[in-house]
Structure 1
């Protein structure tokens, strides 16, 4: 009977050990905030991450949610219970690498039950203040360092990549060109970080991952899936509410209402009380360290042009395009695309040069087009096209990317003809001149915006086609946009347009531009489209009338 009982117990142990999630919740010891040795348990947000995880994962998060610890335990478990599994953790600096190896790898491994630890024979092991490495006899390994320059990894964690990009740009370049290029199909990778301002690789990769997520299409093994975890998702961020109620200002109340609208969540009084008290301590860093929405996480330096709450509400109204086309700029032929295959410089699948359509043309509707024209070079600024409905200003089509100026003009003409001979407003600045020269040869001049004058002295002066953006004309665009945003009528459907509204700021000279490291081309084409919607001439529709015969004396 004893032997049978022992066999049953061993069988139950083996059954439990075959369950990764049981192992994650029961086997590993970590140090808590007080330095005490406790059994690691997955928190709700951590468990949700693993339930939703993809092959490649970008995680934008609030502080102190414990994702770094959970992911490192995941990698240690992968190395222990799989053969020939190479795992790597990249830390933000050498001190962090040493601390991660000691607290997230050595302590959990060294404190395994003796009977279990004896199964994992160590072939070599080294540790120090700058990281560490452990190789097991069954061929698996786990290394913590600040970068990996050679070889491939099957499991990867890049910790606080936003901080790496902000503080150590050269190291970020090493990670991008070395480690991330070594990722192959079948690798499981996590890039997690709090945001550290806009610009840089982490910001760019996050925005592109958000854009792909908005497509609502199945991701490939080489696509990065976006995950966002806000402060209000963690149950520990709460404070008792005084008998007099939450002590918050009118601006804070409006902020919470905007967050609830943007994220479809409810923030109760205890959460509001915690946030108000924490904001006193954190000040300007609050939005970065404890973000409520994805775009808010990226701290904007400089005074915003557009009200943050209004932009947040616009973020909530973004939605996936109805159709994605690969559109030939020369012939105008459209081919539906289920998965865009174009890769950007980071190897991410990109929606650049794709035509995103939210609504097909309605024969009873008129449309306005705004175009922001760039040089067309692969690594320079992008060009952008937006189509909006004249009736309500909603964004119905969007295109952005790198393309030769003359091809951009042909593409715009095809889109204009498709949308009922839409009224086109191309920006005339810089490369806009070459664009307009081509466009006026292939598109009706009456449907291209001509610069409008008041009290013009020389009536014989040649009419100038296109919108000229200057220090004086740009406020016309932005003031109109502010009104639309405030009234909840911006019509924005594309997250890229909203993200550029988020990072559009006044510089030191008082000029309005994209914050350094960001773009404003998608925003500019959209604001021009909205201005064209107001300025477009009324078209007289010909009506067929039946002539009635009457005697000439009665006429």
Structure 2
């Protein structure tokens, strides 16, 4: 069957074919068969975005993308080609789970190899062949799994890393600490749809984006950004007849046209609206993630179910998120969350006139209190009071020591520790108090950046059985920062009295917004 597929090679002489086989660009366009979106077996011919990716390939590459743009296919064929035509090449593909890994091996690697011309498969036969590993007679190999550690890699492809970061932060950390260093001297491609402003994938993309916007000359250790949206894919369009495109939809597309600098005609708009409404049930956040129109939109998070969405939007409109540095002479208060799994979050605060300035943020996990106190003292702030939640006066379950967190912190030199009383309904009432108190909050955007990301993602848990938002927060890792700042709201009157008693505040200065100081 393989020979029947390669009729386009019949006109080449042996010498011509030998010469062509030396060129990887020719090979990638003439040797490998794939299944297209309709399930047909076709000779691989790179589309526009695949051609651009091949031309701009770097040592480290990160690819935020719309679904089914073909990046996984082109990367895996390039890896297979490198293994076939180079001795002792090691390639690894990391997938989000073992089922996906097996599918990649079966439907991409095996499918392409088994349809190579017979003479190539005889020349480079498999010496090991199973669902996770292919080893070739020239010493090269391809493995497909959910991790890759302990071997030096020539090629590494991490598929759907955003999904991995979202679903399994520990696995993501293993990839960062194990797989990526293994491919340090080779070529790495990380590609994925996005899953919100969080995790290692988001950090890598944002760093690559900043470097691209600055026109920075990249080192081999830095990531090159490759972004592909939905709007330049020929197949993503639909006859608009019968598709209801609302005025709000048209406003969205008109705004995006100005951003991307190209028209989004009716057929494109109809496809987008139909996909959103019929495939994703009208969920705009899923469209931003799966079919982003711009790179920033890929990481946009819906405000639905987010506790502080309105408060954060208002704070930005009133310029209360910006530059709010430490003011010497004003004591710095801290507000803590003491997580049950040793997660600690701390906000650093100054009372400035009628406003509350959050000038810094700190978090850590599985660290001793002496580590935390050393990190705090290194900041050089003059301390006011340290506000701990109600469990700051409780001995932790299972601990042998009779000391409470308050006892241990005082033993490390922190004084003026205040325990914030527990409310009748700690979460529900505390969140309402936080929303009400938020009107006076100002944040230093740089030093509080991690904490602000947490607040933007502090949302209600979704009740899958009932299909509604719960009244309680999701345990998604973002609750610690919110619980810490909630201590300020619950102790608001106390904080103000303490500030007035010390006479340490400075008069409020108005700027043009009338809010920021």
TM-score tier by shorter-chain length is 0.5 to 0.7
Question: Is the aligned partner of 1:135 residue 2:139?
Answer: no
- Assess if the C-alpha contact under 8 Å between 2:76 and 2:108 holds in 1: yes
> What is aligned with 1:408?
372
Indicate the SS of the match to 1:78.
helix
Counterparts in 2 of 1:93 and 1:428: CA distance versus 1, 3 Å = closer
Indicate the SS of the match to 1:398.
strand
Counterparts in 2 of 1:189 and 1:308: CA distance versus 1, 3 Å = farther
> What is aligned with 2:391?
430
- How far apart are the structure 2 equivalents of 1:93 and 1:83? 29
Question: Is the aligned partner of 1:276 residue 2:240?
Answer: no
What TM-score comes out, normalization by structure 2 length?
A: 0.63
Question: Is the aligned partner of 1:47 residue 2:8?
Answer: no
- Assess if the C-alpha contact under 8 Å between 1:370 and 1:528 holds in 2: no
1:35-70 per-position Cα deviation (integer Å, ceiling 9, x unaligned): 141332153267348737554x56554321212102
- How far apart are the structure 2 equivalents of 1:179 and 1:280? 41
> How do 1:451-490 residues align onto structure 2 when only pairs under 5 Å count?
464=418, 470-471=426-427, 472-481=429-438
Partner residue of 1:380 out of 342, 362, 372: 342
- Assess if the C-alpha contact under 8 Å between 1:373 and 1:384 holds in 2: yes
1:361-398 per-position Cα deviation (integer Å, ceiling 9, x unaligned): 466x96865432436x9x73133334579488776533
Question: Is the aligned partner of 1:516 residue 2:475?
Answer: yes
> How do 1:207-356 residues align onto structure 2 when only pairs under 5 Å count?
207=202, 209=204, 230-231=229-230, 236-238=235-237, 247-248=245-246, 250=248, 269-270=264-265, 272-281=269-278, 282-283=280-281, 284=283, 285-291=286-292, 303-307=305-309
- Assess if the C-alpha contact under 8 Å between 2:335 and 2:348 holds in 1: yes
Counterparts in 2 of 1:291 and 1:164: CA distance versus 1, 3 Å = same
- How far apart are the structure 2 equivalents of 1:310 and 1:266? 30
- How far apart are the structure 2 equivalents of 1:272 and 1:423? 56
Question: Is the aligned partner of 1:188 residue 2:187?
Answer: yes
- Assess if the C-alpha contact under 8 Å between 2:105 and 2:132 holds in 1: yes
Displacement of 1:522: 3.3
What TM-score comes out, normalization by structure 1 length?
A: 0.59
Counterparts in 2 of 1:386 and 1:312: CA distance versus 1, 3 Å = same
Partner residue of 2:201 out of 188, 200, 206: 206
> What is aligned with 2:42?
37
1:394-440 per-position Cα deviation (integer Å, ceiling 9, x unaligned): 7653332244335534644664x54xx47656343323774598579
Indicate the SS of the match to 1:430.
helix
- How far apart are the structure 1 equivalents of 2:506 and 2:166? 60
1:94-129 per-position Cα deviation (integer Å, ceiling 9, x unaligned): 665555345433454455678xx649822425657x
- How far apart are the structure 2 equivalents of 1:30 and 1:76? 13
Indicate the SS of the match to 2:72.
helix
Indicate the SS of the match to 1:68.
helix
> What is aligned with 1:553?
none
Greater shift, 289-298 or 60-69, is seen at: 289-298
Question: Is the aligned partner of 1:399 residue 2:330?
Answer: no
Indicate the SS of the match to 2:390.
coil
- Assess if the C-alpha contact under 8 Å between 1:498 and 1:523 holds in 2: no
Greater shift, 189-198 or 271-280, is seen at: 189-198
Counterparts in 2 of 1:407 and 1:155: CA distance versus 1, 3 Å = closer
Number of residues of Structure 1 aligned to a counterpart in Structure 2: 454
- How far apart are the structure 1 equivalents of 2:362 and 2:209? 15
- Assess if the C-alpha contact under 8 Å between 1:373 and 1:431 holds in 2: no
- How far apart are the structure 2 equivalents of 1:161 and 1:390? 43
- Assess if the C-alpha contact under 8 Å between 1:125 and 1:134 holds in 2: yes
- Assess if the C-alpha contact under 8 Å between 1:382 and 1:521 holds in 2: yes
- Assess if the C-alpha contact under 8 Å between 1:100 and 1:131 holds in 2: no
> What is aligned with 1:83?
87
- How far apart are the structure 2 equivalents of 1:381 and 1:46? 46
Give unpaired runs (5+ residues) of structure 1.
Answer: 1-5, 322-357, 449-463, 544-555
Indicate the SS of the match to 2:88.
coil
1:236-293 per-position Cα deviation (integer Å, ceiling 9, x unaligned): 54556679x982364x6787799899xx656855455433221111124545533566
Indicate the SS of the match to 2:459.
strand
Counterparts in 2 of 1:280 and 1:39: CA distance versus 1, 3 Å = same
Indicate the SS of the match to 1:426.
strand
- How far apart are the structure 2 equivalents of 1:106 and 1:231? 29
- Assess if the C-alpha contact under 8 Å between 2:172 and 2:200 holds in 1: no
